[in-house]
Amino acid sequence: MARAKPPAMPTAVKPQPSRQNIERGIDRLQDRISELEAFEVNTVRRGNTPELEGLEIAIKDTLARCFGENTSTYNHFQGAAQLTYYPRFWAGDVSPDYIGPIEKHIKTAIALLNQAQRTLREDLADFELESDGTTSTLAVSEALSRRVFVVHGHDDGSREMVARFLERIGFEAVILHEQANQGRTVIEKVEAYGDVGFAVVLLTPDDEGCVRGGTPGPRARQNVILELGYFIGRLGRGKVCALKRGTLEIPTDYAGVVYESMEGNWKQALGRELQEAGYDIDWNKVMKS
């Protein structure tokens, strides 16, 4: 006797894309990220609270609105809604640690929602190109995030000078130490706040180093070199510009990365790199800055 076939599962449908829907989805995801960042983990006494459940429901609803329930993209990001914590083992009278695991869940959720935002921004760029039928610089510029990550060492003066210049020409400068720690390591903060369209890396002679047996010479801090490589991998070489001050060791493995001297006309050079990356640049503001 032939075995009856199981009923076919309904196909998950992704919401109809439109500029308005995509932009609304980006804003909704940002609301969920802000709620997660504002959540007071120290108030948790058990692994499940009404506030955590409310956040989980809100995140699931937002992901469903953005990507369609049970679509592959929805399933990829649905881990962001796993905030509560139930210990598998409970040793005697010792109360389990709820705060540590829930903090990790929140960090994971924020990272996933940041990636979800990036996916929608890419969808927005694709939608603009398809609707226009062109690949104009203006269309790409509208879709690019105008948030620029400023990687820096101990040269506070260079950091402030570059950040204020970016703000004067219409960009938002993201400086890591100005962002909330929330118990995260440096690389976790870089990942959390690295949802940017461009990165400027300041190579300043803050350290000394050399090969074994050699003569120590000036070089950038090692965390700056690490973050340089991170943003090359995340954004691509064309969206990373390194500004160097003074004479210092330059990494030789990053072929294709633009290095500009801060002793020269670095503002115009940075403006050109931003324009080449697809941004609309007001050159009157660049020249006046």
Q: In this structure, what token pair is assigned to residue 55?
A: 């956040």
Task: Judge whether residue 137 has pLDDT over 80.
Answer: no
Task: Say which CATH class 144-288 falls into.
Answer: alpha beta
Task: Judge whether residue 136 has pLDDT over 60.
Answer: no
Per-residue pLDDT reduced to its tens digit, 208-227: 887 788 888 888 888 888 88
Task: Judge whether residue 167 has pLDDT over 60.
Answer: yes
**Across all residues in the chain, what is the average pLDDT?**
80
Comparing 129-138, 151-160, 262-271, 279-288, which segment has the lowest mean pLDDT? Answer: 129-138
Q: How far, in Å, CA of 289 to CA of 25, rounded? A: 35
Task: Judge whether residue 163 has pLDDT over 60.
Answer: yes
Residue 251: which residues within 8 A CB-CB, separation 6 or more? 225, 228
Residue 288 confidence class, pLDDT cut points 50, 70, 90: confident
Q: What is the DSSP string of the chain?
A: -PPPPPPPPPPP-PPPP-HHHHHHHHHHHHHHHHHHHH--GGG--SS--HHHHHHHHHHHHHHHHHH-TT-HHHHHHGGGG------S---TTPPP--HHHHHHHHHHHHHHHHHHHHHHHHHHHHHHHHHHTS--HHHHHHHS--EEEEE--S-HHHHHHHHHHHHHTT-EEEEGGGS--TT--HHHHHHHH---SEEEEEE---EEE-STTS--EEE--HHHHHHHHHHHHHH-GGGEEEEE-SS-B--SS-TT-EEEETTS-HHHHHHHHHHHTT----HHHHHH-
The pLDDT of residue 14: 55
Residue 182 confidence class, pLDDT cut points 50, 70, 90: low
Per-residue pLDDT reduced to its tens digit, 27-71: 999 999 999 888 888 777 666 778 888 888 999 999 988 888 778
Q: How far, in Å, CA of 155 to CA of 158, rounded? A: 6
Residue 161 confidence class, pLDDT cut points 50, 70, 90: very high
pTM: 0.50
